Amino acid sequence: MDTGSGRKWLVNAFLIFLPGVFLWILAVVWASSYTDGQFNFLSGLKSHLLADYSPDSFGHSMKSLKLAIFGDVFSDSPLGHEEIGSLEQVMQGLVPTATLEQGALFLTLTPLATSPAEPSIPMTPTIIPSLTPTPKNYPEQTKPVTLTATPKATENVPTATAIHQKVMPRLDCVVKNNDGTYSAHYGYENQNSYDIQIPIGVENKFSPGSMDRGQPTTFSPGHSSSYPDAILEVTFDGEPLTWHLDGSAVTASANSNQCEPIVPETLEDTEPPTLSGGDLDPAPGELSSCSMTITLDNLRVIDPAPSSGIAWVKFKYKVVGYTDYIHGNTMMLCSGGPTDDGGWDGCYQGATLIEIDPEWSAPDSGPFVIDLYAKAQDESGNDTCYQLGQYTMPASCGKSE
């Protein structure tokens, strides 16, 4: 073999071996990105490695070695800065491409551009087994996957809107009055949970005649009070009278449902009447005769509500030491009577005779003493006494012992 041929063989061998070494290094770097390995290489190497992972379009090939064996050796003996610089110069213009098929990684080094004067280097794809301890299913590694979050379409949720319920007018009943007129008792029903304002007008009026009959303009939720506590009482002549309210209407007439008569609640009269005042003639004091008619005016009798009424008002008197109470004449009502609140307030007048029985023995000392009273009793049997005054009559009116 001549010297020129030997040199050419050595150059070719070096050019084949050195790229193969770099290929293994780049494969280890690429694999480390999936196994969290840390390698202190130039950032330019990774950029070349990640530049293109599509299948190589050139037909170049090169010899290959098992990446696992070289990776173990390379991890124990990391390259220095000078070696890495030399390798970088050699790898200038070589762009690796990679594909993954059936668990094996194919790497191909492709020159960026080849000048006609430069020899082309055939390169063979290198098959590298997966270095990941736990197998992972990567269906495609040719391009990085970009995930795009697409917001879900907003559903059209209907907004609840409060529905206004109509306020309904109501006719409870009609009362026939003693003067020939009628009284219609109205109410309403508001099914809303809030007050409804309806001013006097087309939506709140009476017909025929005046549209304003005192009807309410604020309608609270629920049912209004019913007869006899109806919220609205309208007096009319018996001809049809209509209340128009919130799109509805109700009509009252002489033929409408008649209200049940209201029976007044009977309250028990438990309080006795009271008596006051009164003008006596003659005035209380000493009398010179044995018999005297006493007159009384302006005796006031009051019975508090509820009063059953006053049954009677009478005189009564007694001769001290000789008689029990003796009832005299009944007094007459001269003014007053029942009150608006159910009580009684009246003035009475009358006269009664007071006399000494001559068969009575004369007092041992002094005259006969007479106490004069007025007594009133109401219809419930409650009574009361009121002292009008005291009189005296001479002891000579009786018989002496």
Residue 204 lies in domain: 168-252
- Kindly state whether residues 392 and 281 are assigned to the same domain: yes
* SS3 state at 113: coil
349 found inside a domain: yes
- Kindly state whether residues 115 and 196 are assigned to the same domain: no
- Kindly state whether residues 227 and 287 are assigned to the same domain: no
Q: How far apart are CA 47 and CA 35, in angstroms?
A: 18
Q: How far apart are CA 379 and CA 135, in angstroms?
A: 114
- Kindly state whether residues 241 and 290 are assigned to the same domain: no
Q: How far apart are CA 357 and CA 355, in angstroms?
A: 7
CA atoms within 13 A on the CB side of 62: 28
Asked if 258 and 286 count as a contact pair (C-beta separation under 8 A), the reply is no
268 found inside a domain: no
- Tokens, residue 182: 């009628």
Q: How far apart are CA 360 and CA 319, in angstroms?
A: 11
Q: Position 223: which residue type?
A: H
- Kindly state whether residues 192 and 91 are assigned to the same domain: no
Count: domains in the chain: 3
218 found inside a domain: yes
- Taking the CA atoms of residue 140, residue 95, residue 28 and residue 100 in that order, the dihedral angle to the nearest 10 degrees is 20
- Kindly state whether residues 125 and 179 are assigned to the same domain: no
294 found inside a domain: yes
- Residuewise pLDDT in 10s, the chain (401 residues): 555 666 667 667 667 777 777 787 777 666 665 554 444 444 444 444 444 444 444 444 443 444 444 444 444 445 555 554 555 454 455 445 544 444 444 445 455 444 444 444 454 444 444 444 455 454 554 455 455 555 555 455 555 556 889 999 999 999 999 999 999 999 999 999 999 999 999 999 999 999 999 999 999 999 999 999 999 999 999 999 999 999 999 999 999 999 988 776 667 899 999 999 999 999 999 999 999 999 999 999 999 999 999 999 999 999 999 999 998 899 999 999 999 999 999 999 999 999 999 999 999 888 999 999 999 999 999 999 999 999 999 999 998 86
Q: How far apart are CA 320 and CA 144, in angstroms?
A: 134
> pTM (2 decimals)?
0.39
151 found inside a domain: no
